[in-house]
Amino acid sequence: MKFSLSWLHDHLETSATVEEICNALNRIGLEVEHVEQQGAQLEPFCTARILEAVQHPNADRLRVCKVDAGPEHGEVQVVCGAPNARPGIAVIFAPPDTFIPGSGITIKPGKIRGEASGGMLCSLRELGLGEETDGIAELPEDTLPGQSYADFAGLDDTVIEIGVTPNRGDALAVYGIARDLAAAGLGELRPFLADTVEGTFPSAVSWNITCPEACPWVLGRTIRSVRNGPSPKWLRDKLESVGLRSISTLVDITNLFTIDLGRPLHVFDTNRIKGDVLTICRGAGESIRALDGKDYIVTSEDCVIADGAGVQSIAGIMGGAATEVRDETTDVFIECALFDPVHIALTGRRLGISSDARYRFERGVDQAMPVAALEAATRLIMDLCGGEASEVVSAGAQPHWQRDARLRFERIVSLGGLAVEPDEAVKILGHLGFEVRSSNEDAVTVSVPSWRNDVAQPVVLDPAPTLTPDQCMELENAVARIEPECDLIEEVLRITGLDKVPPQALPPVSVVPGASVSPARARIARLRRVLATRGLMETIGFSFVAHDEAAKFGDAPESLRLLNPIAADLDQMRPTPLPGLLMAARRNDARGWPDLGLFEIGAGFTENGQATIAAGLRSGHTPRQPGGGGEPMTFMAAKADVVDILQSLGVSADALTVTSDAPGYYHPGRSGVFRLGPKTVLATFGELHPSLVQNAGFDAPVVAFEVFPDRIGDPKRRRKAAPNLSVLQPLRRDFAFLVANDVPVETILRAARGAERKLVTGVSLFDIYEGSKLPEGQKSVGIEVTLQPQDTSLTDAEIEKISDKIVAAVMKATNGTLRS
């Protein structure tokens, strides 16, 4: 929101300096974003008079002028190419070393075609103040040389720009800003008075409303026999000071009221309206060319103003070109309406239109001002354009905005933290427009002014499934009692000065601070480090993927489908991060980087909720080795990643079992599942299904894994004893068992490990053989068992006894036999 200091003085009688005004604005919550001294860049320019202008001896289009530039610069010779440079006219003079804003150059003294030139005679365009012209600017005949041009032209004003929060629609008006500054003690607010203009004839146009939910109330009147044209200088200066371009008197008047009172208006050319009724209704797919020259399609979600020929205005946002006022306009119809903020915001967002009217309507305008604003606009139009006003016509009714709010004085200090005397609090509220209804020594009840749409608004809560209707009503009533009082406390503190509220330290929860990182977050950080050390690069992907892609990696229920996705191929909440990793690997492969490893730690979604998943993927080949090339990735690489991850998170390898029931998007024979007990799945790993890999465009296997860290409990904090390292040499024995093909190797390893826990310190697989030399349906599994003596060396008899235990344990668990 921009306003000039002179414009503010129209409503605020004050002697405060710009610095004091800016400090007060910051103090009361209207943050100053920029202050601009309009005349600062024009300071070097001064008025002057051409005493003599003769033809340049060496150039047909140049004149050598003798210029009186006032006492400071004296008489100066200037070479000028303007066709209107002649003796006797008053002009704008720029001395040497002056920066010319319109041209972006700095002039220097010198010679032009052999003649000395000690400055420049300027046009308004060169000062950045006007349009392109064929000559220099000519000032009034009685202009005295040597005056500052900024002072002479009244361009020494200051423009202040403030940031306005969405709840302060009243601060989008110069009058509203003046009201706040007056309440803060910076001056006296001048009252806004609107003289009633009596209509002398029935209006040529009337109103009809068919969508009162979007527009509850509208006023209007006809003014005939007006004379439109360029605006007077004072009006142009006001608008241009805040960055608005002057268009014509009638349009400029509506823009003036938008900025001055925060009251958007619109004027129609009456002679361009078809029929005698303007209807405020919903759109029906019509096209309208707006005042910005663009065509828009309005729908049933949009509020429009239509006549007998169709839609003529996007209500509350922008008028239509078909009924706009022009220089030849003689009869106009003024629109002054109240529009629902939500409808305005949705239409503006849907159509992509930004306008000063939309900006104010969607934040809420003064609901009691339309009558006074219409009268004031009528008076100004008649003063500047002449004409005769009709009677006022209206439709709908003024909404019931009246409401009260109660403030208990002790709550100012107990809730706001600042002691304010009750009389002072009442005085502040009065300056802000809150009228006292009743008061006593403990509290005051005030009526909320029509322009404060953010104070004491009715509260409507969505019914929660756990609350009964009576409980919802009780909660709404409680909030309705508390919220208005908080609003009033905020107003009192804001005007008193939030900088005066003494700081309060938060009460300490504990003498000893808690852990800065929760165990769950520490687990994720540890995961990230482990994966990075294993050569995987972290990625961050969307939490949603294409529905078809999600279906390839598990369930893609409709309940997890997005109704309004940011893109058509991102319409499903992902069940796992793997689809994003696979697409990232495919893009890298297409760009010549087939051998890589990626991981992501993020959420996976199911109908039962979401869970954190650490997913990784490896594609391409292993690094090349001396004497040969790299090998394609195998599922064992993914298994090694998972084992390292689980061990880093404190999961003992002895507690894990591996099963072959991996999800369907893994290779059915080259994948597995790590479990803790029979039910808890900690991780899955393996090659991705060949169909997935082939459809993704890979010509080599792609391996992946998923780890579910939330299913891993926090490791118990126990003091670790020093390892009991034996001084004796360990010994190893190999065993080969003949078992059925469907017996998992894990069963053999677990049985051997449990045969003699004190001495067996390691069991590993070293061979699996299936072939014609074995009975049909059987396989040979070779394992290596490590025995670690503790106190004394083992004798042959003891070794044989332990070996027999291992064989017996495996045979019992598998129904197999020891292979001879």
CATH code at position 94: 2.40.50.140
- The answer to whether 126 is a known ligand-binding residue is no
Q: In the predicted model, what is the mean pLDDT of residues 476-481?
A: 55
Q: In the predicted model, what is the mean pLDDT of residues 483-511?
A: 87
pLDDT of residue 528: 93
- pLDDT tens digit sequence for 544-587: 999 999 999 988 899 999 988 888 889 999 999 999 999 999 99
| Claim to verify: residue 243 and residue 321 sit in the same structural domain | yes
CATH code at position 311: 3.50.40.10
Q: With respect to residue 524, please indicate whether it lies within any of the assigned structural domains.
A: yes
Question: Which residue in the block uniquely carries the two structure tokens 């959420």?
Answer: 603
E strand or H helix at 688: strand 680-688
| Claim to verify: residue 128 and residue 53 sit in the same structural domain | yes
Bridge partners, 310 (sequence order): 307
**Domain boundary at 396, 422, 448, which?**
396
Most confident option among 81-95, 449-463, 615-629, 724-738 = 81-95
Find all residues with CB under 8 Å of 142, minimum gap 6, and list them. none
- Does residue 357 contact residue 305 with C-beta atoms inside 8 Å? no
What band does 132 get if pLDDT is binned at 50, 70 and 90? low
| Claim to verify: residue 602 and residue 694 sit in the same structural domain | yes
pLDDT of residue 758: 87
Q: With respect to residue 195, please indicate whether it lies within any of the assigned structural domains.
A: no
E strand or H helix at 428: helix 422-431
387 token code pair: 């004409």
Q: With respect to residue 716, please indicate whether it lies within any of the assigned structural domains.
A: no
E strand or H helix at 605: strand 596-606
Instruction: Write out 156-187 in H/E/C secondary structure.
Output: CCEEEEECCCCCCHHHHCHHHHHHHHHHCCCC
Q: With respect to residue 493, please indicate whether it lies within any of the assigned structural domains.
A: yes
Question: Rounded CA gap, 704 and 685, in Å?
Answer: 6
| Claim to verify: residue 177 and residue 64 sit in the same structural domain | no
Question: Rounded CA gap, 747 and 199, in Å?
Answer: 100
- pLDDT at residue 340 tops 60: yes
CATH code at position 774: 3.30.70.380
Q: With respect to residue 360, please indicate whether it lies within any of the assigned structural domains.
A: yes
| Claim to verify: residue 88 and residue 164 sit in the same structural domain | no
| Claim to verify: residue 689 and residue 583 sit in the same structural domain | yes
> Over pLDDT 70: what percentage of the chain?
95
What band does 740 get if pLDDT is binned at 50, 70 and 90? very high
**Domain boundary at 445, 465, 500, which?**
500
| Claim to verify: residue 364 and residue 326 sit in the same structural domain | yes
Query: Which amino acid appears at position 274 of this protein?
Result: K
- Quick count: other Cβ atoms within 10 Å of Cβ 661? 12
Q: With respect to residue 401, please indicate whether it lies within any of the assigned structural domains.
A: no
- Does residue 250 contact residue 329 with C-beta atoms inside 8 Å? yes
Q: With respect to residue 405, please indicate whether it lies within any of the assigned structural domains.
A: no
Q: In the predicted model, what is the mean pLDDT of residues 473-482?
A: 57
Q: With respect to residue 447, please indicate whether it lies within any of the assigned structural domains.
A: yes
Query: Which amino acid appears at position 539 of this protein?
Result: T
pLDDT of residue 477: 57
pLDDT of residue 655: 79
| Claim to verify: residue 607 and residue 696 sit in the same structural domain | yes
Helix axis angle for 422-431 and 174-183, nearest 10°, is 160
| Claim to verify: residue 34 and residue 50 sit in the same structural domain | no
Q: In the predicted model, what is the mean pLDDT of residues 191-208?
A: 93
Choice between 815 and 477, residue whose per-residue pLDDT is larger: 815
Nearest to 47 by CA among 146, 194, 181: 146
pLDDT of residue 518: 81
569 token code pair: 């191929």
- pLDDT at residue 463 tops 70: no
User: What is the chain's length?
Assistant: 820
Q: What is the distance in angstroms between the CA of the first residue and the CA of the last residue of the chain? A: 93
- The answer to whether 454 is a known ligand-binding residue is yes
**This model's pTM is above 0.85:** no
- Does residue 759 contact residue 787 with C-beta atoms inside 8 Å? yes
- pLDDT tens digit sequence for 61-87: 999 999 999 999 999 999 999 999 999
| Claim to verify: residue 258 and residue 366 sit in the same structural domain | yes
- pLDDT tens digit sequence for 769-802: 988 888 888 999 999 999 999 888 999 999 999 9
| Claim to verify: residue 354 and residue 275 sit in the same structural domain | yes
Question: Rounded CA gap, 158 and 7, in Å?
Answer: 10
pLDDT of residue 476: 54
What band does 718 get if pLDDT is binned at 50, 70 and 90? low
- pLDDT at residue 475 tops 60: no
Q: How many domains, in total, are found in the chain?
A: 6
**Domain boundary at 332, 367, 396, which?**
396
CATH code at position 454: 3.30.56
- pLDDT tens digit sequence for 257-305: 999 999 999 999 999 999 999 999 999 999 999 999 999 999 999 999 9
Full residue range of the structural domain in which residue 582 is found:
519-711
- pLDDT at residue 481 tops 70: no
- Does residue 751 contact residue 805 with C-beta atoms inside 8 Å? no
- pLDDT tens digit sequence for 627-664: 666 788 899 999 999 999 999 988 887 778 888 889 99
- The answer to whether 198 is a known ligand-binding residue is no
What band does 473 get if pLDDT is binned at 50, 70 and 90? low
> Over pLDDT 90: what percentage of the chain?
68
- Quick count: other Cβ atoms within 10 Å of Cβ 472? 15
Nearest to 223 by CA among 246, 255, 249: 249
Question: Which residue in the block uniquely carries the two structure tokens 């060396």?
Answer: 793
125 token code pair: 């365009």
| Claim to verify: residue 301 and residue 325 sit in the same structural domain | yes
pLDDT of residue 58: 92
76 token code pair: 């100066």
